[in-house]
Amino acid sequence: MKNYSKLYYNGRWHAPDAGAVIEVVNPATEGIVGSVPAGTAADVDQAAAAARTALPGWSATSPKVRAGYMTQIHEELVARGPELAELITTELGMPIKLSQRIQAGLPAVVLETYVKLLEEFSFSERIGNSLVLKEPIGVVAAITPWNYPLHQLMIKVAAALAAGCTIVAKPSELTPLNAFVLAEIVDSSGLPPGVFNLVSGYGADVGEALAGHPGVDMVSFTGSTAVGKRIMALGAETVKRVALELGGKSATILLDDADVETAVKVTISNCFLNSGQTCNAHTRMLVPQHRYEEVVDLVRLHAAAYIPENPLNTQTRIGPLVSAAQRERVLEYIRSGIADGAELLLGGVEAPEGLPLGYYVQPTVFGRVTKEMKIAREEIFGPVLAMMTYDDEDEAVGIANDSIYGLAGGVWSADVDRAERVARKLQTGQVDINGGRFNPLAPFGGYKQSGNGRELGRYGLEEYLQTKSLQF
């Protein structure tokens, strides 16, 4: 049980303005595993003031000095990795082996990439008779989601620190405990007071206060498209920079010459990762009409291996959803798919066997899904795969692009040049070709209503910089 009673700002732990508490629930057991303060707008004022006060000194430090502090944080993050993995599994429900590699391991990798980037990144350049300076944008509000809580927080914190910005972080109220561990790590690193600040709370209270706060220069938000639109509107009142990484309904295209067995295995793994609670999950599988039955047999075979179980079991491949509300949301989409006439190939609305407690759903696959169906158009955020057929390459691209979202996608073909040609036609921020691996240095972000701005690597760093030109 981890119970935190104080917020972290200006280099110290402070009692919150009010005494309200947010209880954190283990989605596998439905038991309470910790608590954090429910912050208020008054707490945001204190944290933002601390960040503003710290900004001149931190922004004036050299990249080498900033990298030194970040290296200390990295070392402690690695040391506490096993603890963080288990903690996030109890908050979120991701299987422990995946949490070790992704939820705890990936934030450390991301932080290390920014340490190395500071060794080579130039914060100025000569253009003709001008010297162009890249300066920190200022105080950053980092508002993060529950599905990859520490990773999404570190993406923002690492880039902001590297840029010379100060930060006020607001984690999701569903999975906030890991952010308090990060605050402990930051506190032990000796980072100057006010550079990193943490205020937990609900979106309507802390999130909205940060998005509209006159002392905040930039909001970086990861979450739903609906909330992203609200944050953009609030930020517009003070003309903040707003970076948004929002929803997705990504399609993977199996071209007619693809290695379908490998494509199916990788796509199912991608779709069911974190119980489908992944913004860039490939949740639409586009299959040539003449290979549909062949692919269905493979999908049934490989999807059946994902059996919901206790996420602390090292053999578990899929755990519960994060909350009762999320479970009901996913079940409603499954009901919608059945009502709309999609072919239910696997799973359904019945609870998985042998799990009387926990927010579990059966991994579900629908076939013969058409583009008008709700399950083909809306982000479900659960382990639900929609299989759709097409007759030719142009139709496949048209189906993939027929979405308000444009975050990710995939193309599979025996001909890499052909796959690249198709990938270039997709209106989306990232495309995996034949299962291409995640690259923490490549820009991550979306087209259309999947957001704006980019995270990770050099592109992520530049989001937190503004330019000034000096003419000579």
Q: How many domains does the chain have?
A: 2
pLDDT of residue 409: 98
238 lies in some domain: yes
416 Cβ contact list (under 8 Å, min separation 6)? 433, 434
Helix/strand number for the chain, H first, E second: 16, 23
Rounded CA separation 36/177 (Å): 7
| Domain match, 219 and 166 both | yes
Residue written as tokens 């047999």? 297
| Domain match, 285 and 200 both | no
Range of the domain at 352: 250-439
Rounded CA separation 18/392 (Å): 60
| Domain match, 172 and 185 both | yes
CATH of the domain at 291: 3.40.309.10
CA dihedral 15, 16, 22, 24 (to 10 degrees): -40
| Domain match, 258 and 230 both | no
Give the number of other Cβ atoms within 10 Å of residue 293's Cβ: 10
pLDDT of residue 263: 98
pLDDT in tens, the chain (472 residues): 899 999 999 999 999 999 999 999 999 999 999 999 999 999 999 999 999 999 999 999 999 999 999 999 999 999 999 999 999 999 999 999 999 999 999 999 999 999 999 999 999 999 999 999 999 999 999 999 999 999 999 999 999 999 999 999 999 999 999 999 999 999 999 999 999 999 999 999 999 999 999 999 999 999 999 999 999 999 999 999 999 999 999 999 999 999 999 999 999 999 999 999 999 999 999 999 999 999 999 999 999 999 999 999 999 999 999 999 999 999 999 999 999 999 999 999 999 999 999 999 999 999 999 999 999 999 999 999 999 999 999 999 999 999 999 999 999 999 999 999 999 999 999 999 999 999 999 999 999 999 999 999 999 999 999 999 999 9
Give the number of other Cβ atoms within 10 Å of residue 447's Cβ: 17
| Domain match, 267 and 192 both | no
CA dihedral 26, 28, 31, 33 (to 10 degrees): -30
71-100 pLDDT per residue, tens:
999 999 999 999 999 999 999 999 999 999
DSSP assignment, residue 290? G
38 lies in some domain: yes
The alpha carbons of the chain give a radius of gyration, in whole angstroms, of: 22
314 lies in some domain: yes
Give the number of other Cβ atoms within 10 Å of residue 61's Cβ: 15
Structure-block tokens of residue 383: 């382990």
444 lies in some domain: no
Rounded CA separation 283/158 (Å): 30
98-130 pLDDT per residue, tens:
999 999 999 999 999 999 999 999 999 999 999
| Domain match, 179 and 114 both | yes
| Domain match, 457 and 430 both | no
| Domain match, 268 and 237 both | no
199 lies in some domain: yes
| Ordered alpha helix ranges (H), 273-415 | 292-303, 324-339, 374-377, 393-401
CATH of the domain at 239: 3.40.605.10
pLDDT of residue 325: 98
| Domain match, 338 and 189 both | no
| Domain match, 255 and 241 both | no
Known catalytic residues are 245, 279
| Domain match, 307 and 416 both | yes
How does strand 12-14 pair with strand 432-433? unpaired
445 lies in some domain: no
In whole numbers, what is the pLDDT of the chain averaged over residues?
98
| Domain match, 318 and 239 both | no
69 Cβ contact list (under 8 Å, min separation 6)? 161, 189, 190, 191
9 lies in some domain: yes
